[in-house]
Structure 1
């Protein structure tokens, strides 16, 4: 298969690449690195990206920014960070990708454990991740030509504990290599509308 990984330079993206590149052709996309660059919050850039790449068999998104902070101090602009990037960025990719996927192709997006297990300072993350999962469930029943869409919901990564561990006391981390298996199951499996929880 020919698979696009958006967010390929991130910790999860690299692990997904390592897993899938054993069996498939990978096209790496980043915001400022990789074979191709695009800001997924700008649908015009997403359209230009797929026009350059052409037809593919699967699209995986492991990118998306969020703001963490105390709810009492949150501003609408800080909520908008996640809404523009992790939510609408991934929605933009899905909207465009359906036009470029071969019949039976798949889209795999990323949410996160805080959609189900809220943490202090993570209100925006809980909101955004829940919205991504809602989009996937809704889109799954409408995609045509046998196209599939799923979402992976990882816990905090073992590799990210130095940066995010303080937010996730009491949570069991997972290595990126284990998280990558859920993306493999989405891409290489048959299910649609699923939330693959790695926690």
Structure 2
């Protein structure tokens, strides 16, 4: 398979890339580094990305940002960061990327536990994650050419625990193996329109 992993050098992306690179052709895309570069907040950049990759069998996005701040400190512009990057960035990857997939290909997006179990300072991030869940379930009903569309929603992963543990007090981080297996299930399985939750 020819697989594009956007965010393939990140904490989770690195492990997913390592797994799939053993038996597949994997292209890594990042904002400033990788085999190809892309700014998912810019639809023109996404179009240029796919012109470089050519036809693919799977598209995986483990990227996108959103502002974390106290609710009363979040401005309208702060919300647009997540809306343009993590939400519309991933929506545009599906909207544009579907035309660069071989029949029967797949697209996997990424969110997180905040959609269902938010913590403080995540009003924007939680909103965006929940929106992606609804988008995937709806768009999967109409996407053509046998293309499957899923989203992986993970609890805090063990490799990011030290960085985020003060936000996620009382949460039990999941292993990197469980995180990778969620992406394996989406890419290699037959599910469509699924929110693949791995919270414990």
- The TM tier, using the shorter chain, reads over 0.9
User: CA offset at residue 191 of structure 1?
Assistant: 0.6
1:176 and 1:77 map into 2 onto residues whose CA distance is: 34
User: CA offset at residue 175 of structure 1?
Assistant: 2.7
Show the counterpart of 2:43.
43
User: CA offset at residue 36 of structure 1?
Assistant: 0.4
Show the counterpart of 2:144.
144
**Deviation by residue 1:121-166 (Cα, 9 ceiling, x = unmatched):** 1111110000111110111000111000000001111111222111
Show the counterpart of 2:197.
197
1:23 and 1:142 map into 2 onto residues whose CA distance is: 31
Show the counterpart of 2:62.
62
> Structure 2 matches for 1:1-199, cutoff 5 A?
1-199=1-199
TM-score, normalised to structure 2's length?
A: 0.97
User: CA offset at residue 185 of structure 1?
Assistant: 0.6
1:161 and 1:185 map into 2 onto residues whose CA distance is: 24
Secondary structure, in 3 states, of the residue corresponding to 1:97? helix
Query: How many aligned residue pairs are there?
Result: 199
Q: In 2, are the aligned partners of 1:19 and 1:181 still within 8 Å (CA)?
A: no
Q: In 2, are the aligned partners of 1:6 and 1:62 still within 8 Å (CA)?
A: yes
**Deviation by residue 1:54-103 (Cα, 9 ceiling, x = unmatched):** 00000000001111111111111111111111101111111111000000
2:79 and 2:13 map into 1 onto residues whose CA distance is: 24
1:177 and 1:33 map into 2 onto residues whose CA distance is: 25
Secondary structure, in 3 states, of the residue corresponding to 1:187? helix
Give the superposed CA RMSD.
Answer: 0.9
Gaps of 5+ in 2: none
Gaps of 5+ in 1: none
2:17 and 2:131 map into 1 onto residues whose CA distance is: 26
2:88 and 2:174 map into 1 onto residues whose CA distance is: 26
**Deviation by residue 1:20-68 (Cα, 9 ceiling, x = unmatched):** 1122110110000101001011111111110111000000000011111
1:70 and 1:136 map into 2 onto residues whose CA distance is: 28
